[in-house]
Structure 1
Amino acid sequence: MQVIETAPIQLDPAFSNVWDELQYRGSVHVSTDAEALEAALAGDPITYYCGFDPTAPSLHLGNLAQLIIMRRLQLAGHRPLALVGGSTGLIGDPKPTAERQLNERETVAEWVTYLGDQMLRFLSDEGDNAVRLVNNLDWTAPMSTVDFLREIGKHFRVGTMLRKDAVASRMESDEGISYAEFSYQVLQGLDFRELFLRYGCTMQLGGSDQWGNLTAGTELIRKAEGVHAHALGTPLITDADGKKFGKSEGNAVWLDANLTTPYAMYQFWLNQDDAIVVQLLKSFTFLPSGRIDELARATTDAPFRREAQKELAIQATSFIHGVEATQQAIDASQALFGSGDLTALDASTLAAAVASLDKHATATPDAPVLQLLQETGLVDTLSDARRAIAQGGVSVNNERIDDASATLEGRLLHGRFAVLRRGKKTLAGIDAGG
């Protein structure tokens, strides 16, 4: 059995300060005054925040990229505020293409709790710089419309707001943009100012596609309080085709194990393209730069070994779901494609492994193996199925089938699942759960 070794969650000692490490890891796409920000991060601890809107019942990998940067800053001694958008989640920031669907207040409130719990999994709640969870509904709900316009709205210029990328693209679309979504940047600016006043927060980080919203906050603090605050825009995390990882793009990988299982998470990292795997190692792991550079060379010299992808899958999945769940995912992978024991897998891991296979079928517990070989596409005809069985090339749950009249009865794992195999590498998943 493969033994998992995870990198300690710490800053890389190869760098003298956290800014240099963020630069190495490609975490800085754009920022306000870079020299001033670097000096601030090298000095006494500052308070910083990142916000996450509850527009779904779970965070995803795009959010995790921000949380890992927050953790690196926390390791450097700085104080994180993890903001969940109980109010902004009721509106949603403008998408480039269309208006967001508004969720019910009760749903958003429920998701606020889910996201808050998730954020606390990735940020330390111990020590002098323990994470503080905040909800922007706490200060927006008591504020009247008149107070909002007088105290906050007066500092914003419509011309500047119209030039924000997301707003500009929507203004040019057939649908246009509602006043609610147009006002989102004002609400996010209000958040930064409120956190500045309450906790002395002087830096906000977020994805580079949120740059207009980030600078709305720095400008509000400058105009209303006479203080220069910082904003850090991080690169968007994209796949090998340049498509953004995220819910709005339809390719979200969720941090909730019920939405994306640990097995599916492990396989996701394992299947990443050579062209982006090194950057993913930098963004999503705490591996030191020396080890990442070794894996980069291995990707160039012996790409067929996929050493970088294997290390990425172990490190990232362990950080998200823990070592035990990652070990189960590895065991499942080995049981499917190697010499591992399928019977040793728990029901949830086996279900995820079966669901991950390209070929599937549902069946009754007494379904004929011969028929399932054809239904799943492992063979073209029943004659081909009989021939494959006669040649000893068919197994169910890694047990060879010798009888062409065999059924699934007595062979299902956890009373429900079967892995049907033809030859060594051609597999299909069977779910007899009804």
Structure 2
Amino acid sequence: MTVLTILKERGFIDNQTHEEALETYLKKPGRHCYIGFDPTADSLHVGHLIPIMSLAHMQQNGHIPIALVGGGTGRIGDPSGKNEMRKMMTLDTIDHNVQSIKRQLSGFINFGEGKALLANNADWLASLEYIPFLRDIGRYFSINKMIKAESYRQRIESEGGLSFIEFNYMLLQAFDFLTLLDRHDCRLQMGGSDQWGNILAGVELVRRSRQKTAFGITYKLITKSDGSKMGKTAGNAVWLDPEKTSPYEYYQFWMNTDDRDVARFLSLFTFLPMPEIRQVSNLVDGELNQAKTVLAFECTCLAHGREAALNAMASSASVFGSFTISEKILPSSSIPRTNKNKNAIELPTTFVSHNELTKGIPAYELFLRTGLTKSGGEARRLINQGGAYINGETVPAFDLLVDSSHLKDGEVLLRAGKKRFHRVKMKEQ
């Protein structure tokens, strides 16, 4: 079984070039493949997990993944999937984001010598000379074909139009492919389905300029069964950076997976065997919740390490109660099958001063300060609608003073809705 078969079985692939030739190409180990990551933020998020996991599968099956960070193309911005031009970032911001992304990718991919590569296209794009680039690369591109690409066509037809600087993006991404071919004999580029036009441009550039066959694969853009975008919760991105999304919050994101998505997400976002995952489709009620716990644990292990996953699981148990997971459910998982640990060390926590808690803090202000709501108005609505809780009890009024009398075991436990928790503790004097 080749890695291509594995990716198809797990539901990754949306489209590909040269189906039979690519299958043959990947039968030999040691092939280089790459995916590009735009440094538009200083953290990747859950929406990036499909390309990250695909690189990890490539590595596990004997190939050499290249994670290409767009330090050069990030100075322009990819128009794919965007209705307007991206905001221009300073070079310092781009460099900071590049370094942060490299650290996060290292949690999923082993960058030991000869096992994987981290590359930054600023290394070759930043020093390009415009006239030689037009002569050597631009001559292979047809504007007639380019404007038919979905990413360009939508922007051209939009009110804001397509800027000339963005129009160059396809050429630069194709040049990345050519450069990685020349440097590492990399003949496979992968990416999201919105990258199909850019990937085909690279495949064609390699064919025409080097007379070699290159390959492309695109992955499905994942949405949840309810139609919402993958990687969003309560309107916010679920980041891989633990400073932006704590391991506990990350764990809870997976725990809150829709029942209809559990088996699919296990196949995409974990390395557990497919025969075991297929059995999950037959589970209901309590057993399906056990499978969700395994999903949350495995995903948190990959992103943050086993210790963080254990702490997040313990924190969840301290809020929702201890649990037992049957040995028959996803038996290949290394998750502890029982959890009675009441340690809530990873539960998101806000510390307030002794003086504040003695005087009392209005409930709506506390829900806002802890990030359970985005505004004071939202906090008032949540409380008035009966969706806010303190220590398990409904908050009776938005201006209720939360003070030291609400402390239980040295803390106040806030809850917004059914599943979003936050802990308030008093600062040590």
The alignment's TM-score, normalised by the length of structure 2, stands at 0.80
CA, structure 1 residues 231+274, in 2 after alignment: closer, same or farther (shift >3 Å)? same
Q: How does 1:158-177 map to 2 (within 5 A)?
A: 158-177=143-162
CA, structure 1 residues 396+364, in 2 after alignment: closer, same or farther (shift >3 Å)? farther
1:364 to 351, 356, 359: 356
Q: How does 1:122-271 map to 2 (within 5 A)?
A: 122-126=108-112, 128=114, 130-245=115-230, 251-271=236-256
RMSD over aligned CA atoms reads 3.6
8 Å Cα contact 2:111-2:118 kept in structure 1: no
CA, structure 1 residues 240+426, in 2 after alignment: closer, same or farther (shift >3 Å)? closer
CA, structure 1 residues 320+427, in 2 after alignment: closer, same or farther (shift >3 Å)? closer
Q: What amino acid is aligned across from residue 206 of structure 1 in structure 2?
A: G
1:70 to 48, 55, 61: 55
Distance in structure 2 (CA, Å) of the matches to 1:96 and 1:68: 24
Distance in structure 2 (CA, Å) of the matches to 1:220 and 1:412: 66
- Report Cα offsets for 1:101-157 as digits up to 9, x if no partner: 1111110011111111222221112364x1111111111122111111111111111
Residue of structure 2 in register with 1:116 after alignment: 102
Q: How does 1:344-423 map to 2 (within 5 A)?
A: 344-346=343-345, 349-351=346-348, 364-367=356-359, 407-408=403-404, 411=407, 417-419=411-413
CA, structure 1 residues 250+147, in 2 after alignment: closer, same or farther (shift >3 Å)? farther
**1:323 aligns to 2:309 (yes or no):** no
Distance in structure 1 (CA, Å) of the matches to 2:320 and 2:231: 29
8 Å Cα contact 1:54-1:108 kept in structure 2: yes
Distance in structure 1 (CA, Å) of the matches to 2:218 and 2:402: 60
8 Å Cα contact 2:316-2:344 kept in structure 1: no
Once the two structures are TM-superposed, the CA of residue 194 in structure 1 deviates from its matched residue by: 0.3
8 Å Cα contact 2:222-2:229 kept in structure 1: yes
Distance in structure 1 (CA, Å) of the matches to 2:94 and 2:121: 13
2:90 to 104, 109, 119: 104
Q: What amino acid is aligned across from residue 263 of structure 2 in structure 1?
A: V
**1:39 aligns to 2:24 (yes or no):** yes
Q: Secondary structure at the match of 2:347?
A: helix
Q: Secondary structure at the match of 2:404?
A: coil
- Report Cα offsets for 1:155-214 as digits up to 9, x if no partner: 111111101111111111110010111111111000000000011101011111111111
CA, structure 1 residues 406+180, in 2 after alignment: closer, same or farther (shift >3 Å)? closer
- Report Cα offsets for 1:368-400 as digits up to 9, x if no partner: 69x7599978998xxxxxxxxxxxx98599xxx
Distance in structure 2 (CA, Å) of the matches to 1:140 and 1:22: 31
Q: What amino acid is aligned across from residue 31 of structure 1 in structure 2?
A: Q
Question: 5+ unaligned residues in a row in structure 2: which ranges?
Answer: 323-338, 368-379, 394-400
8 Å Cα contact 1:26-1:282 kept in structure 2: yes
Once the two structures are TM-superposed, the CA of residue 413 in structure 1 deviates from its matched residue by: 7.3
The alignment's TM-score, normalised by the length of structure 1, stands at 0.79
Q: What amino acid is aligned across from residue 310 of structure 2 in structure 1?
A: Q
8 Å Cα contact 1:336-1:342 kept in structure 2: no
Distance in structure 2 (CA, Å) of the matches to 1:275 and 1:77: 33
2:315 to 317, 332, 338: 332
- Report Cα offsets for 1:260-304 as digits up to 9, x if no partner: 111111111111112222111111000001210121211xx4477
Distance in structure 2 (CA, Å) of the matches to 1:310 and 1:325: 14
Once the two structures are TM-superposed, the CA of residue 228 in structure 1 deviates from its matched residue by: 1.1
CA, structure 1 residues 246+98, in 2 after alignment: closer, same or farther (shift >3 Å)? farther
Identity %: 36
Distance in structure 2 (CA, Å) of the matches to 1:396 and 1:366: 21
- Report Cα offsets for 1:216-271 as digits up to 9, x if no partner: 11111011111110001111121223343368x96532111111111111111111
Residue of structure 2 in register with 1:10 after alignment: none
Distance in structure 2 (CA, Å) of the matches to 1:199 and 1:255: 29
* Structure number with bigger Rg: 1
CA, structure 1 residues 427+64, in 2 after alignment: closer, same or farther (shift >3 Å)? closer
